[in-house]
A and B are shown apart, each in its own frame.
Chain A
Amino acid sequence: MLATLVIVFREVIEAGLIVGIVLAATKGVARRGFWVSLGIGAGALGACVVAIFASQIAALFQGSGQEIFNASVLLAAVVMLAWHNSWMASHGQDIARQMRAVGGAVAAGQRPMTALAIVVGVAVLREGSEIVLFLYGIANSGSESALAMVAGGILGIVCGALLSALMYLGLVAIPMRRLFAVTTWLITLLAAGMASQAVVFLQQAGYFQSFAEPLWNTSGILPEDSIPGRLLRGLIGYSDSPTAAQLAAYLLTIAVIIMLMRVVSRRRGAAAASLAKT
């Protein structure tokens, strides 16, 4: 049961961190609970569907279907996170002003909640489908300890949920004025990490293999598959032996998101200035 708990917990961590960050980034948004729950629900449902069709998905792209699926899903999440940050760059100041005016956490505007619900859904979908396959296999093997192991799996999910609650509480302890800046950075790094992970899946599918040699190896200091390593991987895309393609994807994602945010906020500033003149 303990082994199952640990395995499921390890899978849940990544999705849990993402949910925590999304909840913190949307502090004060009306109906965010609905959108995040929708993301989690749709993701869990999707995970079951993906698990059912696992062998059909795997057979696509000459056996690399699972990798292409994971990479596409990750890249979709990267686009959604970039969208969120650009949106915040254009509306964030208004929201902060509005919040000061009405004295806090009331009516913080709309926020692109669909984008974030998709990010949450995608995270739950990816990790969830692995958990479903794992637990289904155990339940199906009919061993005597199957029930205990499924119980362990459920406990693992609960522990993962607790971790994301901790993540959330830690983040929302940050004063409101700073919170958006922090979550914007977290989301940027989260997106960069996802892009880099997508590249690993593409390399595993046989693409970009000319850039597949690891550049360095820090597994002696912090192995990627340890719990702290996994936490950092989920948060900022830590890799103990990144390849050139991974590093390029990581840096390129950060650069593109920063550029998008600058362009959007400058355009917004220009619009405000021309409004003031008239």
Chain B
Amino acid sequence: MRLIGSKQSILAAAAFASALLLSGAAARAEDAQVFNITIKDHKFDPAELHVPAGKPIILVVKNADETAEEFESSTLKVEKVIAGGQQGTVRLRPLAAGSYGFVGEFHEDTASGKIVAE
């Protein structure tokens, strides 16, 4: 009897998870605004990017260096490796107004910048 109870709760959990999945998938915003950042000589250009607060944003990070870079920000919750000469697309959540720092993890001494949402 109790066994059936566990089975039912597993089913319920699975249903909950898939409902969450579907709602999440449906929510992927395709009308996001695109912003570009270029990495050159292990520096970001622009190092300070102003974006509208509360709107979904797509960041295209172009790595113009020969070496790979990891675009990382703990406040933006982003972690992305971009090979030399390639570009990477990062989808940001709608940001609350404020400043969000990011770094190039492989060259942290020179590669840092911030996004200002306003």
Contact = CB atoms under 8 A, between A and B. Distances in A.
Contacts of A54: 81, 83, 86
Contact of B2 (A138, A224, A225, A266): A266
Nearest to B103: A225
Contact of A209 (B3, B13, B27, B70): B27
A76 to B, nearest CB: 16
Contacts of A66: 80-81, 88
Interface stretch (A92-100, A175-183, A212-220): A212-220
A151 interface: no
Given A205-B91, A214-B77, A263-B3, A245 B70 contact: no
Contact of A136 (B68, B78, B80, B96): B68
Q: Which of B9, B25, B28, B82 has the most CB of A within 10 A?
A: B28
Q: Is the interface of B mostly helix, strand, loop or mixed?
A: mixed
Contacts of A205: 28, 91
Interface of B: 2-3, 6-7, 9-10, 13, 16-17, 20, 23-25, 27-29, 32, 56, 58, 60, 65-68, 70, 72, 74-75, 77-84, 86, 88-91, 93-94, 96, 105-106
Given A58-B86, A133-B83, A266-B3, A203 B93 contact: yes
A207 interface: yes
B13 A141 contact: no
Contacts of A241: 74-75, 77
Contacts of B17: 252
Contacts of A262: 6
A224 B91 contact: no
Given A137-B83, A263-B10, A213 B93 contact: yes
B77 A256 contact: no
A259 B6 contact: yes
A36 to B, nearest CB: 26
Interface of A: 7, 51, 54-55, 58, 62-64, 66-67, 129-130, 133-134, 136-138, 140-141, 200, 202-214, 219, 223-225, 240-241, 243, 245, 248, 252, 255-256, 259-260, 262-263, 266-267, 270
Contact of A7 (B58, B80, B105): B105
Contacts of B13: 252, 255-256, 259
Given A130-B68, A206-B91, 7 more contacts: A64-B89, A137-B68, A140-B66, A206-B56, A208-B24, A208-B27, A219-B75
Top 4 A-B pairs ranked by shortest CB distance?
A: A63-B89, A137-B67, A212-B93, A206-B91
Q: Is the interface of A mostly helix, strand, loop or mixed?
A: helix
A186 to B, nearest CB: 22
A240 B10 contact: no
A137 B65 CA distance: 9
A259 B3 CA distance: 10
Given A66-B88, A259-B10, A141 B74 contact: no
Contacts of B86: 54-55, 58
A135 B88 CA distance: 19
Nearest to A58: B88
B62 to A, nearest CB: 12
A262 B7 CA distance: 10
B77 A212 contact: yes
A241 B77 CA distance: 8
A252 B90 CA distance: 27
Nearest to A223: B74
B102 to A, nearest CB: 12
Contact of B94 (A209, A223, A243): A209
17 contacts: A58-B82, A62-B89, A66-B81, A66-B88, A133-B81, A134-B68, A134-B70, A134-B81, A140-B66, A140-B67, A205-B28, A207-B28, A208-B20, A210-B24, A212-B93, A245-B20, A263-B3
